[in-house]
């Protein structure tokens, strides 16, 4: 795992280090899944959480380096007359990644077995696949919380397809 330091690295794949995530979860309830995961699983979930944030949000401002791997760091973001530093990752971005990482560990929709598929729907140019198992309502709660955390940093909040 290569953590973005705020320099606009060309090869980073996470906004949050394992140490920072461990500290975040010290102040969070209901984290049994996090505590039971191996360090490798935790790092993979932080990478997936970062991808989820980057893929599903259109952030304000501009990347500070045209060759950086991730969408942050960014310049040109002002929140309540305060210019967000362009050489760091905002704490709310990191917190959102931690929440998504925990959600990925709890509800791994990417590794569902074929036998878990309960229906496939085709129509209107869209494909829908429903899985048995996994608590979608918990996932939707996390998405709602993450959306709220990142509102000031984004133009849009399109989470209709994530983790389904």
How does residue 163 score in pLDDT terms, banded at 50, 70 and 90?
very low
Lowest-confidence region among 23-32, 85-94, 140-149, 155-164: 155-164
Domain ranges of the chain: 18-157
Helix (H) or strand (E) holding 86: none
Closest CA to 56 of 144, 161, 130: 161
Q: Look at the pTM and tell me if it is higher than 0.75.
A: yes
DSSP lists the bridge partners of residue 117 as: 131
142 band by pLDDT with thresholds 50, 70 and 90? confident
Q: Greater confidence, 4 or 135?
A: 4
Span 40-74, pLDDT tens digits: 999 999 999 999 999 989 999 999 999 999 999 99
DSSP 48: H
Coil, strand, or helix at residue 104? helix
Tokens of 129: 């696949």
Helix, strand counts (H, E) of the chain: 5, 8
Quickly list H helices, 8-135.
Answer: 18-26, 32-36, 39-56, 91-106
- Percentage of the chain exceeding pLDDT 70: 76
Distance of CA 47 to the CA centre of its chain: 8
Q: Please tell me what DSSP assigns to residue 145.
A: H
CA 155 from centroid of its chain's CA atoms = 17
Over 70: is that where the pLDDT of 17 sits? yes
């Amino acid at each position: 795992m290569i953590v973005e330091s705020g320099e606009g690295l060309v090869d980073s794949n996470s906004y949050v280090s394992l140490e920072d995530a461990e500290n975040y979860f010290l102040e969070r309830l209901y984290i049994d899944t996090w505590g039971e995961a191996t360090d490798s699983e935790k790092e993979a979930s932080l990478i997936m959480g970062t991808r989820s944030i980057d893929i599903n949000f259109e952030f304000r401002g501009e990347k500070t380096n045209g060759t950086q791997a991730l969408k942050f760091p960014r310049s040109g973001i002002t929140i309540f007359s305060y210019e967000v530093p362009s050489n760091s990752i905002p704490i709310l971005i990191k917190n959102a990644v931690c929440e998504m990482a925990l959600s990925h560990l709890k509800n791994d929709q990417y590794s569902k077995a074929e036998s878990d598929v309960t229906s496939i729907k085709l129509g209107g140019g869209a494909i829908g696949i429903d899985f048995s198992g996994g608590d979608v309502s918990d996932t939707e709660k996390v998405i709602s919380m993450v959306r709220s955390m990142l509102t000031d940093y984004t133009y849009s909040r399109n989470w209709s397809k994530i983790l389904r």
